[in-house]
Amino acid sequence: MARKTGSHSEITGPLVREAAERLFARHGYAAVSMRQIAGEVGVQAGALYNYTPDKQSLLYDMMSTHMQSLLQSWSDADPGGTPMDRLQAFTRHHIHFHLQRPDAVFIAYMELRNLEAQNFARIEVQRKAYEMVLENILQDGQGAGAFHVGDVKLAGMAVIAMLTGVTTWFRDDGRLSVEEIANHYWDMVRKAVGA
């Protein structure tokens, strides 16, 4: 039995998540009401509760899904090989991935403080896992003499901050293409880690 009678939650459900993501990114979680989200979907506020138990879950679910997607996407893109190859792949993947979902990225970085304690802890685990991906690459390269950084942990944080910063100023109709941007960033990352 595929779909039950009268059902079209397979349509409305995603619309709710998309509207919430768009609005949260634009105005912030706390500033967006359930009625605004419902309005975007073309439905009354009460109907949203067929698709989420509450507003907080709407936020947590999209953040968790985003982090999961980021980790999985890197896992698929990781070419293995030398630390240098992997660092370049990481840099390019990070930029491409982040520029492809600006709203989700924005929320993942800005709405951490609006997560309830337990949800926050869960997201932090995923976030930390991603940071460790880069830290491990840098550690390997440092050990092999391919990189020369003063402090591996600090270098990891610096690189991620630098790369993520691209989302704050990138515009689709801007001066540089994503590919050109990725090239420039890789050049700076490479030099910054002393390779």
Partner DNA sequence: CGCCTTTCTGAACGATTGTTCATTTTGAAT
Partner DNA sequence: ATTCAAAATGAACAATCGTTCAGAAAGGCG
Kindly list the residues in this chain that would bind DNA in the complex (CB under 7 A). 2-10, 12, 32-36, 38, 42-50, 53-56
Least separation in angstroms between residue 110's CB and DNA is 17
CB neighbour class for 159 (10 Å; exposed up to 12, middle 13-18, buried from 19): buried
* Contact (Cβ atoms closer than 8 angstroms) between residue 101 and residue 70: no
The nearer residue to its own copies, 93 or 127, going by C-beta atoms, is 127
Residue 61 has φ and ψ, to the nearest 5°, of -60, -45
Among DNA, its own copies, none, partner that 9 touches (CB below 5 to 8 angstroms by kind): DNA
The nearer residue to DNA, 32 or 193, going by C-beta atoms, is 32
Going by C-beta distance under 8 Å and a sequence separation of 6 or more, which residues neighbour residue 175?
Answer: none
Residues in touch with its own copies (CB under 8 A): 26-28, 30-31, 110, 113-114, 149-151, 153-155, 157-162, 164-166, 168-169, 175-176, 181, 183-185, 187-189, 191-194
Distances (CA, A) of 12 to 46, 49, 74, 149: 13, 11, 30, 50
Least separation in angstroms between residue 14's CB and DNA is 11
Least separation in angstroms between residue 158's CB and its own copies is 5
Distances (CA, A) of 76 to 70, 71, 93, 100, 177: 10, 9, 10, 16, 24
Least separation in angstroms between residue 4's CB and DNA is 4
Among its own copies, DNA, none, partner that 55 touches (CB below 5 to 8 angstroms by kind): DNA
